[in-house]
Amino acid sequence: EMFGQLTTGLESAWNKLRGTDQLTKDNIAEPMRDIRRALLEADVSLPVVRSFIESVTEKAVGTDVIRGVKPEQQLVKVVNDELVQLMGGEVSDLVFAKTAPTVILLAGLQGVGKTTVCAKLAYYLKKMGKSCMLIAADVYRPAAIDQLTILGKQVGVPVYSEGTEAKPSQIAKNGIKEAKSKKTDVIIVDTAGRLQVDKAMMSELKEVKRAVNPTEVLLVVDAMTGQEAASLVSTFNVEIGITGAILTKLDGDSRGGAALSIKEVSGKPIKFVGRGERMEDLEPFYPDRMAQRILGMGDVLSFVEKAQEVMRQEDAEELQKKILSAKFNFNDFLKQTQAIAQMGSFSRIIGMIPGMNKVTPAQIREAEKNLKFMESMINVMTPEERERPELLAESRERRIRVAKESGKNERQVSQLVAQLFRMRAQMQKMMGAMQGQDTPDMEG
Ligand code: GDP
């Protein structure tokens, strides 16, 4: 079973949370140790494990309790989302050149499945409706050229070769000329593989890369080599500059270390995975599907997502009701500011709004400081005061207490209270206007 070992290792983490009613720093500690152990046993590289554990812990403890969702289910969801992020988030599509042909350069050590990947990729592209050509630039192993020729025939794609005498960069150049004359859409260049990374290999690769100016440079790595695969991707990227990795032999990998480490260690995404020896056993790499497969809990995930969605809807309806009945209070105020904070830092959001790019970094810092400032006062209010801001409006004593406990002065508290009532009035006006749209005009 692919990644079976990791799946089993993670299961003990969920089991330890059974019977608890909330994720806390304390009750999460032991399950997190299980997750850490499972990842290390899966051969995920240590720095990756560390930062993963850190961000899962932080997110898990910070999440709101969702009605009907058990803590262990909540943790599954957090781990899933972080796994998806770890593996690059979105699927990383193959990039095609704006004007054909697209040149894909394939590199990799011997035995990783590079030759097979050439043919599999050609087969995949052919199914997409692209015409392909393979170029055999691995001149050190005559058998490699023969193998590529045979595989090319098998998938119905021409293979360009000049035997073992010519220079790889020259073969590649000639091959591209030939492919252009045939109006080929995609050219895949197979380069020499060696038993290990060496200078000669790197400099030859660099030369071929210069000669063919590829759109994609993909390093083929073997999943069975775990975190070693990740550091290879990193090395090749530093040495020659690559655009991504192809991870082969995933079908035989029960651990998962390579799939989980590559993006984080090298900064480069996995674009395809090989899952068998047949030509159709190459597919794009989907981080979300991979995470689900690792956790083996697709139904739990969709359940938690649905529950979250219901909560969000109820929250929004609740807020709307409150605004209409003039009950918008400090808790809602906090929820709103926290929602903004959760969306990422203020500055990034403002940067995304068209026309807002004239806001200076200083102004943004000021806005962020303002939010923190207001929060510190709300934090020391009693639950009743947050619920009913009128209490603060009516009692100077209460305002003085809030000021004292938050280290602010009375005037600042008064301003905050006034601001809340202003917001309330504004919101009611807004809602009134929105509702007025569907009611008959009384003045007319
Ligand atoms: P190269 O030396 O890198 O060109 O490797 P080859 O393409 O010759 O492949 C080496 C061996 O690995 C062959 O027996 C392939 O059939 C096998 N192979 C390649 N990819 C996969 C894969 O995704 N899964 C499995 N199970 N075997 C694979």
DSSP 8-state secondary structure symbol assigned to residue 323: H
Mark whether 129 and 81 lie in a shared domain: no
Mark whether 113 and 80 lie in a shared domain: no
Side-chain-side CA neighbours of residue 275 (13 Å): 15
- Helix, strand, coil percentages in the chain from 3-state DSSP, rounded to 5: 60, 10, 30
Q: ω before 101 within 30° of 0 (cis)?
A: yes
Q: Indicate the helix (H) or strand (E) that contains 130.
A: none
- In a domain? residue 290: no
Q: Read off the amino acid at residue 322.
A: K
Atom of ligand 1 nearest to the CA of 273: 23
Mark whether 271 and 132 lie in a shared domain: yes
Q: Distance from the CA of 124 to the center of ligand 1, in angstroms?
A: 16
Mark whether 130 and 236 lie in a shared domain: yes
Atom of ligand 1 nearest to the CA of 248: 23
The tokens for 361 are 């970094």
Residues framing ligand 1 (Cβ under 6 A): 108, 110-116, 193, 248-249, 251-252, 274-277, 281
- In a domain? residue 26: yes
- In a domain? residue 94: no
- CATH classification of the domain holding 72: 1.20.120.140
- In a domain? residue 308: no
Q: Distance from the CA of 333 to the center of ligand 1, in angstroms?
A: 59
Q: Distance from the CA of 144 to the center of ligand 1, in angstroms?
A: 12
The tokens for 405 are 């406990």
Q: Using CA atoms, how far apart are residues 59 and 187, in angstroms rounded to an integer? A: 44
Mark whether 113 and 85 lie in a shared domain: no
- In a domain? residue 316: no
Sign of CA dihedral 46, 48, 50, 53: negative
- In a domain? residue 49: yes
In 3D, which of 159, 119, 91 has the Cα closest to residue 278?
119
Instruction: Give me the residues paired with residue 283 across strands.
Output: 273
pLDDT at position 442? 38
- In a domain? residue 35: yes
Mark whether 276 and 149 lie in a shared domain: yes
Q: Whose CA is nearest to atom 11 of ligand 1?
A: 113
Mark whether 18 and 54 lie in a shared domain: yes
Q: Using CA atoms, how far apart are residues 309 and 117, in angstroms rounded to an integer? A: 41
pLDDT at position 236? 96
Q: Which phi and psi (to 5°) does residue 220 adopt? A: -90, 125
Q: Distance from the CA of 249 to the center of ligand 1, in angstroms?
A: 7
Mark whether 248 and 355 lie in a shared domain: no
Q: Distance from the CA of 199 to the center of ligand 1, in angstroms?
A: 24
pLDDT at position 41? 92
Q: Which residues, in sequence order, are CB contacts of 334 under 8 Å at separation 6+?
A: 375, 378, 386
The tokens for 335 are 């929820």
pLDDT per residue, tens digit, the chain (444 aa), is: 678 888 888 888 988 888 888 899 899 999 999 999 999 999 999 999 999 999 999 999 877 777 778 888 999 999 999 999 999 999 999 999 999 899 999 999 999 999 999 999 999 999 999 999 999 999 888 888 999 999 999 999 999 999 888 999 999 999 999 999 999 999 999 998 888 888 889 999 999 999 999 999 999 999 999 999 999 999 999 999 999 999 999 998 888 999 999 999 999 999 999 999 999 999 999 999 999 988 888 778 878 888 888 877 787 777 777 766 777 888 888 877 666 555 445 555 555 554 445 556 666 667 677 778 888 999 999 999 999 999 999 999 999 999 999 999 999 999 999 988 887 887 777 766 666 554 434 333
Domain count, the chain: 3
Q: Against a cut of 0.90, is the pTM above it?
A: no
pLDDT at position 338? 65
Q: Distance from the CA of 103 to the center of ligand 1, in angstroms?
A: 22
Residue with tokens 């020391």: 380
Mark whether 142 and 243 lie in a shared domain: yes
Atom of ligand 1 nearest to the CA of 147: 8
In 3D, which of 226, 214, 151 has the Cα closest to residue 188?
214
pLDDT at position 444? 33
Pairing label, strands 270-274, 282-284? antiparallel
Q: 44: domain range?
A: 4-89+296-300
Atom of ligand 1 nearest to the CA of 190: 4
Cα 317 to Cα 132, 311, 389: the distances in Å are 55, 10, 21
Can you tell me whether residue 219 is helix, strand or coil?
Answer: strand
